[in-house]
Chains A and B, each alone.
Chain A
């Protein structure tokens, strides 16, 4: 029993944003048919790294989906597509103006499906015809200004923050529409212009920068801060910590134990040290004090010391450390599925819904792997299917 059992989805999307939405739908139990051109989703070629010849990124984003490969420029291919679209509950279209599915992004659906389009920019705006990509989306949301230094080459977030958030938002949008549909029987169009996703995630900054009483605090000042790389500890690793729950007494004991008790006279360390750590006003300025205090200690010692004195702390971890940590195992978020190329690890869902079990998705499909099966479900006879394949209207692989 899953939330979206019985629901069918047609995914006409390449790359990241649309497929993330489709993945979340699959994880919730929907049957997701990924419609690909004969050349396949461009993301199949996004690498290295490749696994069994297919992009690892593609494989993770398209688990649990069926692949129907058709040629949308072939009249019979279009017929197959239209027949599919007429029978699904949800359509997800990436709306890339230079992609193969652009035409289907503008549809006003007839009947009751939920039609979710993810164009790069607003279709009614001056940039309607422009394609988008992760780096440019981050640049437009001024993300590079929250990284690195102004006098150095700009950086971006390593995560595909804009496109992935777009997919999350589209999923939220689709769920809202499905709720309305469950109550009224009515479908509708949901539009999610992808350029807006990271802008949404940075909304705290836009409010802070509007008309502040004083130019004060990290939301204003961080643009001029040096890169935040944590605090170095004696064994060469770095940590990050805050003292939100400390008291004057705990703070005094902490700095005594660290041999820096002189800081209690330093106004930057007032208020239990709150402004001297984390995103506190003086944190980046007094970092050398902490680093010299931690110089002769190991990470474990420092973390323990901070936690015993009302603080919260974490090492700054890379993936090998993170995925070896027992807390990740406790989350149960990493799944492994067998594939022809060997065992394949991927992330499951980061939330639980009581009483609705977790769907363990099978591997991502080969291009056109389910073409024949989907055609059969659409009512084509095997002979008709083979004729479509011979005509080049569809292709079957896998």
Chain B
């Protein structure tokens, strides 16, 4: 496996999306990842749609892995699990608080077996506090963490992002960062340690810039539709042909160039809109003014002008357009699964010059695990050579 984590072995005991996506990222970076599913399979495997009978969300968050099933409630299953753990550098779990301990794989037990292991846990709300025992899913965390109250318009009110597990994946990404910190520290002192993350904390960090607004003003940020909070003009405008264009001016130089693109040099001289704070304070006035200009020509015209003047802009794409797009299509990959056929996924957009990453691959399957327990142990004991997944 190419990548900076080549040689690192991960046992992924997590389920649903948070922990498994963390495992995916470590696998993308070159680690050998083995996912352990319970005897009845991962709960995520039941979420539709399916492709050739297998749940696509499971397929999506379990790239770069092999998987097996173990019954941790049986002595043999638990023994197998501990054998795998003995060979691993990283252990990931995201069960509801107390569960992994009841199954016999709590931190103390695992550390006994392998003191060098990084033991990574994700919980929805944390281990202390009134909600510590609560389970959580992406939408519940959207609701609790304020994420669902900052999207929308004043007329309609706040709404959630439907429904891609955005906060699940965000948590998994930051957990992967925490794990790498612990691995770095292990290089210094040879010790394993535990790392913990909460979906709630991760969601707050994702909203840091909106929360900064709240901390500064003491007030809930207002709903702004397509508009940015602290820069202007930075919103969507309707063109003559009904298509929308998202424009994003974030510097004074870009403002001047936008005025050129709109053939409105007068606006660049207009003292009402001279600086970003002026434009933000007069956002509605500016928006009305610019809306009229954009409505006077079709999208294609504005596309040529904005590109020429190097102003950040984009149309709203959809998936079919994304796949065909000459730039954005490059951020998607078609992955071949041995049982379920070909499907698209977005591999992590990281490129390393000295330790290049392997192209995305997958074998983990929600219905037919790709490894037996014995094969999984072999895989961890002898990770594959560079260049072979």
B70 at the interface (CB under 8 A from A): no
Q: Is A204's CB under 8 angstroms from B180's CB?
A: no
Q: Report the minimum CB–CB distance from A12 to chain B (whole Å).
A: 16
A317 to B58 CA separation, bound complex (whole angstroms) = 30
How many residues on A have C-beta within 8 angstroms of the other chain's C-beta atoms?
152
Does A159 lie at the interface of the complex (its beta carbon under 8 Å from any beta carbon of B)?
yes
Q: How far is the CB of A131 from chain B (nearest CB, A)?
A: 5
Q: Is B102 an interface residue (CB 8 A)?
A: no
Q: Is the pair B254, A98 in contact by a Cβ cutoff of 8 Å?
A: yes
Question: Which 8 pairs across A and B sit closest by C-beta, in order of nearness?
Answer: A133-B248, A330-B129, A196-B349, A350-B201, A158-B150, A217-B48, A212-B49, A136-B314
Q: Could you tell me the distance in whole angstroms from the C-beta of B89 to the nearest C-beta in chain A?
A: 11
Pair B244/A153 contact, Cβ less than 8 Å: yes
Minimal Cβ-Cβ distance residue in B for A333? B201
Residue-by-residue, is A59-85 near B (CB-CB < 8 Å gives 1, otherwise 0)? 111000000000000000000000000
Q: Does B374 count as interface, using CB distance less than 8 angstroms?
A: no
**Chain A residues, CB < 8 A from B252:** 42
Contact B177 A168 (CB under 8 A): yes
For the complex with contacts A172-B348, A190-B350, A210-B344, 20 further pairs of A-B residues with Cβ separation under 8 Å are: A133-B231, A135-B312, A144-B226, A153-B238, A154-B226, A157-B161, A159-B147, A172-B350, A175-B181, A182-B184, A202-B346, A217-B47, A219-B47, A219-B163, A228-B148, A245-B135, A315-B144, A319-B214, A351-B202, A353-B181
Work out how many contacts link A and B, with CB atoms closer than 8 A: 525
In the bound complex, CA of A187 to CA of B352 (Å):
10
B152-206: which residues lie under 8 A (CB-CB) from chain A? 152-153, 156-166, 169-170, 173-178, 180-185, 187, 191, 193-198, 200-202, 204-206
Known: A46-B230, A206-B346, A228-B159. A108 touches B314 (CB 8 A): no
| 0 or 1 for each of B296-335: is its CB under 8 Å from A? (1 = yes) | 0000000000010011111111110010001110111000
Q: Are A204 and B61 in contact (CB under 8 A)?
A: yes
Determine if A354 is an interface residue (Cβ-Cβ < 8 Å). yes
- For B128, list chain A residues within 8 Å (CB): 330
Residue numbers in B under 8 Å from A171 (CB-CB):
177
- Interface presence of B56 (CB below 8 A): yes
CB of B63 to closest CB in A, whole Å: 9
Q: Which residue of A lies closest to B107 (CB)?
A: A354
Is B280 among interface residues, defined by CB-CB distance under 8 A? Answer: yes
Give CA–CA (A192, B197) in the complex, Å: 24
Q: Which residues of B contact A197 (CB under 8 A)?
A: 349
Cα of A260 to Cα of B180 in the assembled complex, Å: 51
Interfacial chain A residues near B47, Cβ < 8 Å: 217, 219
Complex CA gap A144/B243 in Å reads 13
Q: Distance (Å) between the CB of B40 and the closest chain A CB?
A: 15
> What are 7 of the A-B contact pairs (CB < 8 Å)?
A134-B234, A146-B163, A192-B349, A228-B163, A315-B144, A322-B144, A327-B130
User: With A188-B353, A192-B349, A322-B144 known to touch, is A327 a contact of B125 (CB < 8 Å)?
Assistant: yes
Q: Which residues of B contact A48 (CB under 8 A)?
A: 230, 277, 280-281
Inter-chain contact B228/A319, CB cutoff 8 Å: no
Q: Which residue of the partner chain B has the closest CB to A182? A: B187
- Could you tell me the distance in whole angstroms from the C-beta of A281 to the nearest C-beta in chain B? 9
Q: Is the CB of A188 within 8 A of B354?
A: yes
Residues of A within 8 A of B267 (CB): none
Interface membership of B229, Cβ < 8 A: yes
What's the minimum C-beta distance from A211 to chain B, rounded to whole angstroms?
6
